[in-house]
Amino acid sequence: MQITRIRTSSRPSGRELTPLLAGAATAVGALGAVLALTGSDSPLRAPLVLFFLLAAPATGIAVALRGLDPFARVLTALAGSVVLNMLVAQGMLATHRWSPRGGVLAMAVISALILLPVLLRRRRAAREGATVTVKPTKT
């Protein structure tokens, strides 16, 4: 008989920290959007709004690009986020409708529209996977 020892680490693995970091980033981004939409004069408003403007579209793009390796996905998502922010700002300036609140709201809507089809596709795939039943065969 062979005895196998299972090594346990006191440090949490990267997989265990990912949901925690995602939740913290969501909270920080949401706080930035709330501060911008309410017109608060908090000194944290500018950095949190900038985080929201970069992270919200980047999250939607990164989730949509699940086939890429992680580094390429992060790089592409951040570049796409910058491009979307520039397009929104340029469109608002060209139509003489510039406002910080409008920009934050536009980026929130665009980010949701990018993320929505991916979430619907995952939900449909999970539902189709759950409804498939396999009947046991008698042998």
The continuous run of DSSP H or E covering 20 comes out as helix 14-38
| pLDDT at 66 (0 to 100) | 84
4, pLDDT greater than 80: no
Tokens at 86, concatenated? 């520039």
In the chain, pLDDT over 70 holds for what percent of residues?
82
Q: Which phi and psi (to 5°) does residue 103 adopt?
A: -65, -45
pTM over 0.85: no
In the chain, pLDDT over 90 holds for what percent of residues?
43
136, pLDDT greater than 70: no
| pLDDT at 83 (0 to 100) | 97
85, pLDDT greater than 60: yes
Segment 18-27 long-range contacts (CB within 8 Å, at least 24 positions apart): 25/51, 25/55
- On average, the pLDDT of the chain sits at 85
* pLDDT digit string, tens, across residues 29-65: 999 999 989 988 889 989 999 999 999 999 989 988 8
